Amino acid sequence: MSRLPSDEKQNENPDPYPDISDNTYEINVINSNRFHFTDYANNDKLVEDIPEKENFQFEEFDMSIEQVKDKTLRELKEQLVSDKVPEAVQNKYIIIDDILYYISNVDNDPIIRLYIPSHIKQAVVEQYHDKNGHMGIDKTFDSIRQKYFWPNMFKELYNYVTTCVPCQSRNLQKVRAPIQETKIPPYPFCHVGVDLSGPYPTTMSGNRYIIGFIDLYSGWPEAFSVATKSTDNVAHLLIEEITSRHSGIQILTSDNGGENCSKAMEEVCKELNIKHIKTSFYHPQGNAKIERFHRTLHDVLSKLIEDHSTTWDLYLNQALAAIRFNINESTQLSPFYALYNRDPVLPLDNILKPRRKYNGEEYHKIALQQQHKSFMLVHKTMKKSKQKQAKYANKHSKDIKFEVGNPVFYKNHRRASKLSRKWTPYYRIIEQTSPVSFILKNQLDGTTTKAHAEQIRLAKLDWEIPNNNQGKALRKAAYVVPVESQSEDSSDDESIDSDTPLNQIAKRYKK
pLDDT digits (tens, 9 = 90+) for 183-211: 888 888 999 999 999 899 999 899 999 99
The sign of the CA dihedral 82, 84, 89, 91 is: positive
Interatomic CA distance for residues 398 and 401, integer angstroms: 10
* pLDDT > 90 fraction of the chain, expressed in percent and rounded: 23
Phi and psi (nearest 5°) for 57?
-95, 130
The sign of the CA dihedral 430, 432, 433, 439 is: positive
Residue 64: alpha-carbon gap to chain centroid: 50
The sign of the CA dihedral 202, 205, 206, 211 is: negative
Higher pLDDT, 207 or 380: 207
Instruction: List all residues 6 or more positions away from 75 whose beta carbon is below 8 Å from its beta carbon.
Output: none
For residue 476, CA distances in Å to 3, 24, 46, 384, 443 come to 7, 10, 8, 65, 22
How high does pLDDT run on average in the chain? 78
State residue 1's pLDDT score.
40
pLDDT digits (tens, 9 = 90+) for 90-100: 888 888 888 88
Residue type for 355, please? R
Interatomic CA distance for residues 219 and 400, integer angstroms: 32
Say if residue 501 is preceded by a cis peptide, omega within 30 of 0: no
State residue 148's pLDDT score.
92
Looking at the predicted structure, is the pLDDT value of residue 66 above 80?
yes
Query: Which of 1-10, 216-225, 434-443 is least confident?
Result: 1-10
Confidence of residue 31 (pLDDT cuts 50, 70, 90): low
Helix (H, G, I), strand (E, B) or coil at 399: coil
Looking at the predicted structure, is the pLDDT value of residue 483 above 50?
no
Residue 20: alpha-carbon gap to chain centroid: 41
Q: Count CB atoms within 10 A of the CB of residue 115.
A: 21
Higher pLDDT, 503 or 2: 503
Query: Which of 109-113, 329-333, 359-363, 503-507 is least confident?
Result: 503-507
State residue 474's pLDDT score.
41
Query: Which of 249-253, 332-336, 412-416, 473-477 is least confident?
Result: 473-477
Using an 8 Å Cβ cutoff, are 269 and 210 in contact? no
Pick from 123, 160, 157: which is nearest to 141 by CA? Answer: 157
Query: Which of 186-190, 239-243, 282-286, 387-391 is least confident?
Result: 387-391
Looking at the predicted structure, is the pLDDT value of residue 274 above 70?
yes
Residue type for 209, please? Y
Interatomic CA distance for residues 387 and 283, integer angstroms: 21
As a dihedral over the C-alpha atoms of residue 33, residue 39, residue 43, residue 47, rounded to 10 degrees, the angle is: -50
State residue 389's pLDDT score.
75
State residue 390's pLDDT score.
76
Interatomic CA distance for residues 111 and 382, integer angstroms: 67
Interatomic CA distance for residues 254 and 256, integer angstroms: 7
Q: Count CB atoms within 10 A of the CB of residue 57.
A: 8
Looking at the predicted structure, is the pLDDT value of residue 250 above 90?
yes
pTM score, two decimals? 0.62
Looking at the predicted structure, is the pLDDT value of residue 75 above 60?
yes
Helix (H, G, I), strand (E, B) or coil at 456: strand
State residue 172's pLDDT score.
83
State residue 14's pLDDT score.
47
Ramachandran bin of 331, using left for φ above 0, alpha for ψ from -120 to 50, beta for the remaining angles: alpha
Ramachandran bin of 109, using left for φ above 0, alpha for ψ from -120 to 50, beta for the remaining angles: beta
Domain ranges of the chain: 63-163, 191-350+363-385, 406-458
Interatomic CA distance for residues 247 and 188, integer angstroms: 10
Question: Could you give the residue ranges of the DSSP H alpha helices within 306-362?
Answer: 316-325, 335-340, 349-352
Length of the chain: 511
State residue 468's pLDDT score.
54
State residue 11's pLDDT score.
45
Please state the rounded mean pLDDT for residues 477-483.
Answer: 43
What kind of fold does domain 191-350+363-385 have according to CATH? Nucleotidyltransferase; domain 5 (3.30.420)
The listed range with the strongest mean pLDDT (167-181, 217-231, 339-353, 405-419) is 217-231
Q: Count CB atoms within 10 A of the CB of residue 226.
A: 20
Please state the rounded mean pLDDT for residues 26-42.
Answer: 56
As to burial, measured by CB atoms within 10 angstroms (0-12 exposed, 13-18 middle, 19+ buried), residue 335 is: buried
Looking at the predicted structure, is the pLDDT value of residue 503 above 90?
no
**H or E element at residue 424:** strand 423-434
Looking at the predicted structure, is the pLDDT value of residue 283 above 60?
yes
Confidence of residue 362 (pLDDT cuts 50, 70, 90): low
* pLDDT > 70 fraction of the chain, expressed in percent and rounded: 77
pLDDT digits (tens, 9 = 90+) for 114-162: 999 988 999 999 999 988 889 989 999 999 988 999 999 999 999 999 8
Interatomic CA distance for residues 209 and 232, integer angstroms: 14
Please state the rounded mean pLDDT for residues 39-52.
Answer: 47
Interatomic CA distance for residues 82 and 37, integer angstroms: 64
In this structure, CATH architecture of domain 63-163? Orthogonal Bundle (1.10)
Looking at the predicted structure, is the pLDDT value of residue 316 above 50?
yes
State residue 488's pLDDT score.
43
Helix (H, G, I), strand (E, B) or coil at 437: strand
Query: Which of 35-44, 165-174, 240-249, 269-278 is least confident?
Result: 35-44
Q: Does domain 406-458 have CATH number 1.10.3720?
A: no
